[in-house]
Structure 1
Amino acid sequence: MAKAFKFGDDPWDPSHRFETSWLVSPYVLFAVRAIISLYAFTTIFFVLGWQCTHPGKNVAYACENSASSFSFFTHLTYWGLAFYFLVASVHTFTYARWHVALLDKWPRPLQALHAFFYSTITCYPFLVTAVYWGLIYGALPGWFPTAFGAWSNIAMHAMNSLFALFEIVIPRTNPSPLVHMFWLIVVLALYLALAYVTKATKGFYTYAFLDPSLQKNGLVAAYVFGIAVAILIVFMLVWGLVWTRRWLTESKMGMEGKFAKGGRPMATSHVSAWQDDRGDQHEMVSTTNFAKHRNSARFS
């Protein structure tokens, strides 16, 4: 349990896995991440604006639905996606331009939190997509009656998982530390508290399956427990996909990564506890093999 509260003291991301890809150059990775961030933020603010200008019936003020959106897990995780791709694009650009990512200069706690940020945006979107289309959409009378409703729900409940899949498949990131499972559950527990605070302060349940008056005895607890188990399953599936991508592209295909022109990863005999499993020498092998093909000076 003590490990869950440690930020680690090993070398941080020695081969710049967060800023590089096995398939595209750092500049291309930066551009795609920036475009995804721009699309996500555009979606968020367009939805907020549309809800304010089309308030619907039985609302106390024009932007009531927009204000209420901050209580929904879907919207909160979509904000997370937008900010992650913004921050990741900045780190990728600084690495591509100066061979040192801004992330490399951050304090270790912020680096560790960035690694956990990656775990959240590669796991929660799949949970949101599964819960929405599996539980919530089925209770609707049919397909969305307006183009706005169809687009906004597809953007937030389907494209969110596509964005997550991009981060799983394209960058060179390592499988997340298993301790992140604990913190994913903690964040879900905090959201559950927020949902009931919303009920107490605003008078509504964010999701019907959290409303005891609509569920049989114990069914709310079953839903909550089921979602907790689901995020652990999602984490392990994502972990396996990232491991498989790394094994397939690097070990089998020999595509160790496209690095910044003139730069090279810092050679090290250590493996970051936040980036690889203890005892896994894959990071050292990848870094050593790359160094054999680059003779440029080590950057500071």
Structure 2
Amino acid sequence: MRRWPWLPEPPFDPTHRFHTSWLLSPLHFFLLRALIALYCFVTIFFLLGWRSTHGMDEAARRSFSYFTSLTFWGIAFYYAFAAFHTGSFWFAGKPLLARWPTALQYLHAIFYTTITTFPFVVTIVFWAVLFDTFSTPFDTWSNVTQHALNLLFAVLEILIPRTERPPVVYVAALVVLLALYLGLAYITYATEGFYVYSFLDDGEVGRGGVAGYCVGILVGTVVVYGLVWLVIWVRLVVTEEKWGMAGKMATRRGVVHPGGAEVGEVKDQVEMSESHHSAV
């Protein structure tokens, strides 16, 4: 009997789809991911530093209660880990993720699903519900970075890697994370005395309004997940079946085949034909 019957057949990611691209070589894919991770972390710490030194200490502390900020932290950490694993694949022909316990491997896959789904929810809710005006250039930059560039970072992870469609069961993980955040939002109100988002204030929008917003965001998240699933499927069909671009698998030490073994001399890249390892 399979240990986790609701997840894809083991082994996890046998052809290293999370760490390779149909478009970029492992080296260039590593550099792209590392650059995005660096930009995200520089942005986060610059925002914290700027607010703390410009009389906005409270705003800096409160940022950890906002779904926008937490999602951006998630993007930063995901790209850092993804760059690390892609770099280890480029250097040694096998990502360190392949040596991790199975549970951590699937948590990485769920992590991937969150950063290809939640940024869309953040951006839609901000521009449709929360946006008012930008008062300063700093305010403009910080909001555009967290509510527009975040979307770009999500799209890049949908289109550039060779990742498969996420299992439907991962929707449950997204729902659980949204529920946990809702709890955090009300814990923040109970301890700090403010609502992180005005639509969570039943005194302003009524209990029915709060419930409506929460259900709407939940449904929107599921819809976004479905659309992302569909886009990934289209990418797989177009790049691998129509264009025959199954993946650039060259490493520093040799050409890596699906089993991960080195063969032959070093090449800049190799197109590897493989059967799909479906994740559904």
Alignment partner, residue 28 of structure 1: 28
Q: How does 1:83-122 map to 2 (within 5 A)?
A: 83-122=77-116
Alignment partner, residue 59 of structure 1: none
Look up the equivalent residue of 2:203 and give its one-letter code.
Answer: S
Are the counterparts in 2 of residues 37 and 82 from structure 1 also a CA contact under 8 Å? yes
Instruction: State the Cα distance separating 1:53 from its structure 2 match.
Output: 1.2
Alignment partner, residue 180 of structure 1: 170
Are the counterparts in 2 of residues 95 and 260 from structure 1 also a CA contact under 8 Å? no
Q: What are the ranges of 5 or more consecutive residues in structure 1 without an aligned counterpart?
A: 57-62, 268-282, 288-300
Q: How far apart, in 2, do the equivalents of 1:250 and 1:8 lie?
A: 20
Alignment partner, residue 235 of structure 2: 245
Q: Does 1:203 align with 2:193?
A: yes
Instruction: State the Cα distance separating 1:9 from its structure 2 match.
Output: 5.7
Look up the equivalent residue of 2:90 and give its one-letter code.
Answer: A
Are the counterparts in 2 of residues 209 and 220 from structure 1 also a CA contact under 8 Å? yes
Change in Cα spacing, 1:14 to 1:4, as seen in structure 2 (3 Å) is closer
Q: How many residues align?
A: 261
Q: How far apart, in 1, do the equivalents of 2:4 and 2:125 lie?
A: 28
Instruction: State the Cα distance separating 1:167 from its structure 2 match.
Output: 0.2
Q: How does 1:46-195 map to 2 (within 5 A)?
A: 46-56=46-56, 63-137=57-131, 140=132, 142=133, 144-195=134-185
Q: How does 1:261-300 map to 2 (within 5 A)?
A: 261=251, 262-266=255-259, 285=275
Alignment partner, residue 295 of structure 1: none
Q: How far apart, in 2, do the equivalents of 1:4 and 1:186 lie?
A: 19
Q: Deviations over 1:110-132 (max 9, x none)?
A: 00000000000000000000000
Q: How far apart, in 1, do the equivalents of 2:4 and 2:189 lie?
A: 31
Q: How far apart, in 1, do the equivalents of 2:205 and 2:276 lie?
A: 53
Q: How far apart, in 1, do the equivalents of 2:4 and 2:200 lie?
A: 29
| SS of 1:256 mapped into structure 2 | coil
Are the counterparts in 1 of residues 34 and 83 from structure 2 also a CA contact under 8 Å? yes
Look up the equivalent residue of 2:40 and give its one-letter code.
Answer: A
Q: How far apart, in 2, do the equivalents of 1:200 and 1:233 lie?
A: 31
Q: How far apart, in 1, do the equivalents of 2:8 and 2:160 lie?
A: 26
Instruction: State the Cα distance separating 1:216 from its structure 2 match.
Output: 3.2
Are the counterparts in 2 of residues 7 and 109 from structure 1 also a CA contact under 8 Å? no
Q: How far apart, in 2, do the equivalents of 1:220 and 1:101 lie?
A: 44
Q: How far apart, in 2, do the equivalents of 1:130 and 1:23 lie?
A: 29
Are the counterparts in 2 of residues 26 and 92 from structure 1 also a CA contact under 8 Å? yes
What RMSD, in angstroms, separates the aligned Cα atoms of the two structures?
Answer: 1.9
Alignment partner, residue 37 of structure 1: 37
Instruction: State the Cα distance separating 1:5 from its structure 2 match.
Output: 8.9
TM-score, with structure 2 as normaliser: 0.89
Alignment partner, residue 293 of structure 1: none
Q: How far apart, in 2, do the equivalents of 1:30 and 1:167 lie?
A: 12
TM-score, with structure 1 as normaliser: 0.83
Instruction: State the Cα distance separating 1:264 from its structure 2 match.
Output: 1.3
> Which runs of at least 4 in structure 1 moved beyond 2 Å after TM superposition?
3-9
Change in Cα spacing, 1:217 to 1:116, as seen in structure 2 (3 Å) is closer
Counterpart pick for 2:248 among 237, 258, 267: 258
Are the counterparts in 1 of residues 6 and 169 from structure 2 also a CA contact under 8 Å? no
Q: How far apart, in 2, do the equivalents of 1:74 and 1:11 lie?
A: 34
Counterpart pick for 2:202 among 187, 209, 212: 212
Q: Does 1:19 align with 2:23?
A: no
| SS of 2:116 mapped into structure 1 | helix
Higher alpha-carbon deviation: 216-225 or 110-119: 216-225
Are the counterparts in 2 of residues 7 and 108 from structure 1 also a CA contact under 8 Å? no
Q: How far apart, in 1, do the equivalents of 2:246 and 2:146 lie?
A: 33
| SS of 1:285 mapped into structure 2 | coil
Identity %: 48
Instruction: State the Cα distance separating 1:6 from its structure 2 match.
Output: 5.9
Higher alpha-carbon deviation: 258-267 or 110-119: 258-267
